[in-house]
Amino acid sequence: MILILLLILVLIAALLGWRRRRRAAIGMCVLAVAWLFFAGCGPLAGWLLGSLQSGFSPEVSGWGQRNAIILLGAGTVRPEAGVVEPNLYADGRILRATELYRACKATGADCKVEVSGGDAAHNGRAEADTYAITLDRLGVPRADMILESRSMNTFQNAQNSRPLLMTYGADKVVLVSSAIHLKRAVLYFAHFGMRVEPVRGDYVTARYDWLPGTENLFFADFALHEYVGVWRYHVYNALGWNAPRIPEENVSTQTHS
């Protein structure tokens, strides 16, 4: 999105130059360069990330008697034929969910890790099934995992998690994802009547420098994607395109935190 806007500015400058509107073309080139430095040197990414990630803790305020720790998928990779692994962006989430599971079990309560994610990357294995292998290696028993392997996006994560949580009868629901993703994820889960406690699995920051960097461009683009997702949710609601909203008061108290 960041680079697309930069490309549009450059194309407009080229078009203005072709039409011999030299002053306007120069002005558009200056705007393109200014946008590149604003986005790539840190200010844009810092501003967007700070707003998205603020207020999310890496810890849980307390546990219930029946606890569901929802681990949202972040994608998979296929480094070689027949091998599917969690991608880089999933590692923090998986480790945080494992830490929370151990902390929950230490209280003597009943604890489950629900892994939500289908095969959105088309690598041949769902995120839920892929992450379950890593969770098992980290000490989370398969008996304490609930796998939801149909969701292709965050909205479906929420929609498909609701019946699983109701069946389990959780009185505490913890939602684990990247800090940059949690604001949108919490919004979607609330749409389906679920009150969750968000916990961040990772946190990213802008790197301020005199020259544009690809890391800042990526993070700014990632953040804009999240803002667009929130905006699209509200637009779809207004147009009646989303699944019907479920008021929280109509949800079984088993799913409340």
Find out whether 202 and 178 touch, Cβ atoms under 8 Å.
yes
Same domain for 40 and 165, yes or no, is no
CA nearest to 90, candidates 174, 178, 26: 178
For residue 240, tell me if it sits in a domain.
no
Say whether pLDDT at 224 is over 70.
yes
Number of domains comprising the chain? 2
Of 217, 253, 243, 255, which Cα lies nearest the Cα of 6?
217
What does pLDDT average to over the chain?
Answer: 92
238 found inside a domain: no
8 A C-beta contact, residue 192 and residue 162: yes
**Which pLDDT does position 15 carry in this prediction?**
87
User: CB 23: neighbour CB atoms within 10 A?
Assistant: 8
Please tell me whether residues 71 and 150 are part of one structural domain.
Answer: yes
Q: Are 220 and 44 in contact (CB under 8 A)?
A: yes
How many other C-beta atoms can be found within 10 angstroms of the C-beta atom of residue 88? Answer: 10
One domain, residues 68 and 40? no
| pLDDT on residue 248 | 75
Q: How confident is the model at residue 251 (pLDDT cuts 50, 70, 90)?
A: very low
In a domain, 126, yes or no: yes
Amino acid in the structure at residue 153? N
Name the residue with tokens 């681990």.
71
In this structure, are 17 and 87 located in the same domain?
A: no
Q: Which residue has the higher pLDDT, 257 or 191?
A: 191
**74 and 195, same domain (yes or no):** yes
**126 closest CA partner among 191, 71, 73:** 73
Using a pLDDT cut of 90, give the percent of the chain over it: 79
- 125 with 33, same domain: the answer is no
Token pair of 223, please? Answer: 């953040």
Among 8-12, 120-124, 177-181, where is mean pLDDT lowest? 8-12
Summarize the confidence of residues 188-192 as an average pLDDT.
96
Could you list the residue range(s) of the whole structural domain that residue 115 is in? 57-206+246-255
The reported pTM is 0.89
In sequence order, which residues have a C-beta less than 8 Å from that of residue 64 and are 6 or more positions away?
Answer: 109, 170, 171, 172, 257
Return the percentage of the chain with pLDDT > 70, whole number.
96
Specify whether 36 is located in the same domain as 114: no
Would 35 be classed as within a structural domain? yes
pLDDT digits (tens, 9 = 90+) for 48-106: 999 899 999 999 999 999 999 999 999 999 999 889 999 999 999 999 999 999 999 99
Confidence of residue 4 (pLDDT cuts 50, 70, 90): confident
